[in-house]
A and B are shown apart, each in its own frame.
Chain A
C-alpha cells in the first residue's frame, strides 16, 4: 500500500469516527450547559455545569426520571432473559435436531421481525386495558418479546450451527456421561453465542419507544425513552432541553459501555444472524 493510499484510508477512518460521535458529543455538551447558557447557540458550553444532572437525579425531575430508569432496567432485563431462554431451546432444536417445521419457525421469526410495532400496539392497547395489563411491567415485557425473540432465534441458531456437536459424542466415548459431556463441552462453546444474543436483545428492548409510550400511562411502568419523549420540564417556565440531554446521556451510558466491551461479538452477532444465518 502506498503512503498516499495509507493516508487516504486514515483520513477516511477519522471521518467515520467523527461521523459516529458527533451527535453524541453534542448531546453530552448540551447536558453540561447551565440553563442560562443553553441558548448560546455554540457547540460547547461556556462553562461546565452539572445542574442538569442534579436536577434529574436528585432535583425536581428525579421523580419522573428515576422510576423510569428503574422500569427500563427491570423490564428490559426480564424481557431479554425470557427471550434468551426461549430462543436457546428453539435454537438448540434448530441446530441440533432434525424435525419438520424448522423452516416454519425461522420464517415465522422473520415475519414477526418485519411486523410494524404500531399495528400490534393498537389492539394490545385495548386488550391490555380489558385484562388489566395496561401500565404494568408484564404489559410491556410480553410485547417486548415480539421485538427480542425473532432476532434471538436467528442469531442464536446461527451461532449454534457452528458448534461442532460431534465433540459431545467424542467426550462420551471417552467415558463422560451424557450430562457431563453436554455441560463440559457444549455449554462452554454455546455461552458466547447466548451472551451476544442477550446483548443484542437488550439493545432492542432498551431502544423501544412505541410500546413504551402507548401501553403505559404513569411512572409505574413507563420506560425511559417514553418518559423522555413526554418530558416537558420540571417547571413550565424553563426549557427542558438541558435535563432531557442529561437524561439522554445517562440512558446512553449502559449501551455504549456494552458496545465498547463487546464490540467484536456484537458485530459477529449482527452479521451472523442477518447475512450468514
Chain B
C-alpha cells in the first residue's frame, strides 16, 4: 500500500495512528474502524441522540395535544418533579424493589450456583436447562403467572397458604402497597436469579482448585474455606453480577405494568416516565423524568465502580 495523506479511520472518533507508524499498522487502524465503525455508529445513534433529545425537551413546556404552545421553561419541569411527592414515592418504590430483589437474588443465586457446582455430573445438564427456563420466559409472561397465582378470583395461593396467619380466601394481595410490592419482588426474583447464579457459577469455576486443596490440607473448615478462599477469589464475578442486576432492577417496568399498573403507590420511576410521556403526552415533564432516571442509573454505576473499585475491564478478564 502506498502512503496516503488521509487520516486513518472513518472519522468517527478514530484517533490518527502515531507519527511514523508503518503502513501496515495504519491500514490495520483503518480497517478496524471500517469494520467496527458501523456498530459503534448505530449504538450512538439509537441511544446518544435520543437522550440529547430528551435533555432538550425536558427544558420545554410541551404537550403533544397542544403542539402550538411549546414554551421554554428552563429547569421548571425538574423543579415540578422534584417537589412532587409522586416522584419521591416512585423513587422510593424503585429503590425498595432494587434493594430487596438484588439482596435476595445474590444469596439465592449463590446457593443455586453452589448446588449446580456440586451436583452430580449426571444431573448437571438437567439443572442447567431448568435454570435457564426462567431466564427464557419473557418478563410479561412471568408477571402474569405470578399475578394470576395471587389473584383473588383465580389464584391458588390463598387456598394453599390458608394455614398461615393473615392469609385467607379473601386476602387481596393487590389491594395494598406492601403486599403488591411483595408479589412484584417475588416475580422479579424468580425471573432474574438465574442470570446472577450463572455468572456466580462461572466465578466459582474460576477459583483455583489448588487453593481449595491447600486450605483443606491446612485443616480449614468448609466455612473458613468459603470466606477465606472461595469468596475473595470470585470477588470480580460477584461485583459484575451485583452491578448488572442493580442497574437492571432499577429500571423495573414490565412487572409493575402488568401486575398493578402503578396502583396503590407501586409506581416505579420507569413507569412514571412512561405514564407522563406516552399516556399523558406531557413530553416536557416526561422527558425530565427520563433524564432523572438516566442520571440515577449513571450515579449507581459510578457509585459501584468507585465504591467497590470494580475495574470492569479487569472483571471481564481483559488484559
Contacts of A103 in B (CB 8 A): 313
Contacts of A104 in B (CB 8 A): 13, 40
Contacts of B146 in A (CB 8 A): 23
Contacts of B273 in A (CB 8 A): 118-119, 121-122
Contacts of A42 in B (CB 8 A): 156, 159
How many of chain A's residues touch chain B, expressed as a range?
35 or more
Determine if B28 is an interface residue (Cβ-Cβ < 8 Å).
Answer: yes
Contacts of B118 in A (CB 8 A): 9
A43 to B156, CA, bound (A): 6
How many of chain B's residues touch chain A, expressed as a range?
35 or more
Determine if B208 is an interface residue (Cβ-Cβ < 8 Å).
Answer: no
Taking a contact as CB atoms under 8 Å apart, the answer to whether B129 and A119 are in contact is: no
Given contacts A13-B115, A16-B116, contact A145 B42 (CB under 8 A): yes
Which residues of chain A from 251 to 272 have a CB within 8 Å of any chain B CB? 251-252, 255-256, 258-260, 263-264, 266-267, 270-271
Least Cβ–Cβ distance between B94 and chain A, in angstroms: 11
Interface 1/0 per residue, B1-39 and A, CB below 8 Å: 000000001000111010000000100111111011011
Taking a contact as CB atoms under 8 Å apart, the answer to whether B36 and A27 are in contact is: no
Taking a contact as CB atoms under 8 Å apart, the answer to whether A112 and B251 are in contact is: no
Identify the closest chain A residue to B283 (Cβ): A126
Given contacts A145-B42, A214-B274, contact A252 B257 (CB under 8 A): no
A231 to B202, CA, bound (A): 40
Determine if B127 is an interface residue (Cβ-Cβ < 8 Å).
Answer: yes
Task: Choose the segment among B44-52, B72-80, B213-221 that binds chain A (4+ C-beta atoms closer than 8 Å).
Answer: B44-52
Contacts of B144 in A (CB 8 A): 27, 228, 244-245, 248
**Taking chain B's interface residues, is the majority helix, strand, or loop, or is none over half, making it mixed?**
helix
Contacts of A26 in B (CB 8 A): 145, 148-149, 156
**Taking chain A's interface residues, is the majority helix, strand, or loop, or is none over half, making it mixed?**
helix
Contacts of A259 in B (CB 8 A): 129, 132-133, 135-136
Task: Choose the segment among A52-60, A82-90, A167-175, A187-195 that binds chain B (4+ C-beta atoms closer than 8 Å).
Answer: A82-90
Taking a contact as CB atoms under 8 Å apart, the answer to whether B131 and A20 are in contact is: yes
Given contacts A105-B36, A115-B297, A121-B278, contact A225 B140 (CB under 8 A): yes
Determine if A63 is an interface residue (Cβ-Cβ < 8 Å).
Answer: no
A264 to B257, CA, bound (A): 33
Task: Give residues in A with beta carbon < 8 Å to B.
Answer: 6, 9-10, 12-13, 15-17, 19-21, 23-24, 26-27, 30, 38-39, 41-43, 86-87, 89-90, 92-94, 97-112, 114-127, 129, 142-143, 145-146, 149-150, 153-154, 203, 206-207, 209-210, 213-214, 225, 228-229, 239, 241, 244-245, 248, 251-252, 255-256, 258-260, 263-264, 266-267, 270-271, 274-277
Task: Give residues in B with beta carbon < 8 Å to A.
Answer: 9, 13-15, 17, 25, 28-33, 35-36, 38-40, 42-44, 46-47, 49-51, 53-54, 57, 64, 112, 115-116, 118-120, 123, 125-142, 144-146, 148-149, 151, 153-156, 158-160, 169, 190, 194-195, 198-199, 201-203, 206, 236-237, 240-241, 244, 247, 250-251, 253-254, 257-258, 270, 273-274, 277-278, 283, 286-287, 289-291, 293-294, 297, 301, 312-313, 315-318
